[in-house]
Structure 1
Amino acid sequence: MSREAKILTAILVLVVGAMVGLFVLTGSGSDKPASTEKADSSKLIRDNSHKQGSGSVTVVEFGDFQCPSCGQAQPVVERIKQEYGDKITFVFRNFPLPMHQNAIAAAKAAEAAGAQNKYWEMNSKLYANQQEWSELSNPSESFIKYANEVGVADIERFKKEIGDNTHTAFIEADKSDGEALGVQGTPTFYINGQQSDSFTYQNLKQLIDQQLGQK
């Protein structure tokens, strides 16, 4: 093999490796087969985790508010919640990725709104406006605007909590649980403890229907 061919081969290997690494970190919407292993229930949900509904099938999402794949998954999540209603319990866990500069700040904004009973409203608002705030050097003003729009009552308290460490331990506990479960990218879903990295409607629906059929 000539020297030039060796150089080209080395470059190709590096490019392919980088693409694979990016794919793993950012998540995938493909119909990747779900793992058949059940996750540790003590790491999936904590007593103070954010929950919607009280159905027999639990859908847990480990997500990052700045993650583009999570933003793409959000309409699917909303459709699933609307269609299944009280048949499922939906749980959101924070898993901010280090590559996203505003992910932790956004998680703090969601938690600060949640402290005033507006968590799910802020959760939806952050995803709906992801492109607006995700690349800002300081997204605080955007978060304050969203807090006003969703009806957070004490804006001064909200401002304080997005600027300090009031909710840091909660966010870190979420991520620690995800890491213990083997979460590597976002969004990652668990349907009654069965992991799925796919967020297509068809895949999530199939997994939920399978669990409902076992009840």
Structure 2
Amino acid sequence: MAKTPDQSQTRRKKIDAMREQEERARKRNKNLAVSLTVIGVFVVVLAAVFVVNRLSGPEPAAVAAGESQYVRADSHKLSVAADGKVTLVEFLDFECEACRAAFPVVEDLRKQYEGKVTFVARYFPLPGHFNAERAARAVEAAAAQGKFEAMYQRMYETQTQWGEKQVPADDVFRVFAKDLGLDMTAWEKVYNAPATLERIKKDVADGQALGVTGTPTFFLNGERLQPQSEGDFKAAIDAALAR
């Protein structure tokens, strides 16, 4: 039976609609393939960047007898326990506000556990803090004259004066050194010495190897702590002392 003009027109519309649907589906599949390719490339690039960053970062120094990546022979010990049973290590940044908030807690713990716990300070200046590395060099230069603790404390006590600024704080740190009665010629020499920066980078490399990404980061006898209060610190320390 012959089709009427209306039937033929309807059939053509159906065919055109099917073709249009097929074309849209083809375009969707093409776009999906392109998107997946872009995502795949992004993942590969991201992975490559991660690997490059890991490879270009500082390599930890070899671990000598009697030391570890937590505590090196030249690590600065604020307090020392004779039995060496419990050690609290802090990777810190002198320009870090959270480190400044933790400072009085650590000082209080040092008083409470004097002679029972060894407290160790490791440098970990963060790249986003303009004067953090300078502060670490200033403290290390003071340490060369036996004034590590005094300069360490001064940095936190004055952080609001020089921290979070985008101008060098060298002159400020020089004043601190003078106030401590240091030999300024000797202090300047150590402050500007490449070996001082290498000393700080060694701490950073150890921290990175241990998974440190921010400050302050604490390790108690090699186990990472995430305390929310002084009570959390004390509970962990008491448990370690009781073992």
Find the counterpart in structure 1 of residue 215 from structure 2. 186
Aligned residue identity for 1:125: R
Find the counterpart in structure 2 of residue 141 from structure 1. 171
Matched, 1:47 2:73: yes
1:159 positional shift: 2.1
For residues 131-177 of structure 1, the C-alpha deviation after alignment (integer angstroms, 9 at most, x for no partner) is: 1111251211111111122232x112212332342301110000000
Cα distance between partner residues in 1 of 2:227 and 2:216: 8
Cα distance between partner residues in 1 of 2:175 and 2:80: 31
CA 1:77/1:120 → structure 2, altered by over 3 Å: closer, same or farther? same
Cα distance between partner residues in 1 of 2:119 and 2:154: 17
Aligned residue for 1:59, secondary structure, equals strand
1:199 positional shift: 5.7
Cα distance between partner residues in 1 of 2:160 and 2:192: 21
Identity over aligned pairs, percent: 40
Higher relative CO (Cα under 8 Å, sequence separation at least 6) belongs to 1
Cα distance between partner residues in 1 of 2:171 and 2:228: 31
Aligned residue for 1:87, secondary structure, equals coil
Matched, 1:158 2:184: no
**Contact 2:93–2:123 under 8 Å retained in 1:** yes
Aligned residue for 2:87, secondary structure, equals strand
Unpaired runs of at least 5, structure 2:
1-66
For residues 44-103 of structure 1, the C-alpha deviation after alignment (integer angstroms, 9 at most, x for no partner) is: 010110013332210100000000000000000100001110101010000111110111
Pairing of 1:15-30 with structure 2 (within 5 A): none
For residues 7-27 of structure 1, the C-alpha deviation after alignment (integer angstroms, 9 at most, x for no partner) is: xxxxxxxxxxxxxxxxxxxxx
Cα distance between partner residues in 2 of 1:159 and 1:89: 30
Cα distance between partner residues in 2 of 1:97 and 1:58: 24
Over the residues paired in the alignment, what is the CA RMSD in angstroms? 1.4
Aligned residue identity for 1:213: A
Matched, 1:105 2:131: no
Aligned residue identity for 1:149: D
CA 1:151/1:136 → structure 2, altered by over 3 Å: closer, same or farther? farther
Find the counterpart in structure 2 of residue 65 from structure 1. 94
Aligned pair count?
A: 173
CA 1:199/1:140 → structure 2, altered by over 3 Å: closer, same or farther? farther
Aligned residue for 1:96, secondary structure, equals coil
Find the counterpart in structure 1 of residue 240 from structure 2. 211
Cα distance between partner residues in 2 of 1:190 and 1:156: 36
Name the TM-score, length of structure 2 as normaliser. Answer: 0.68
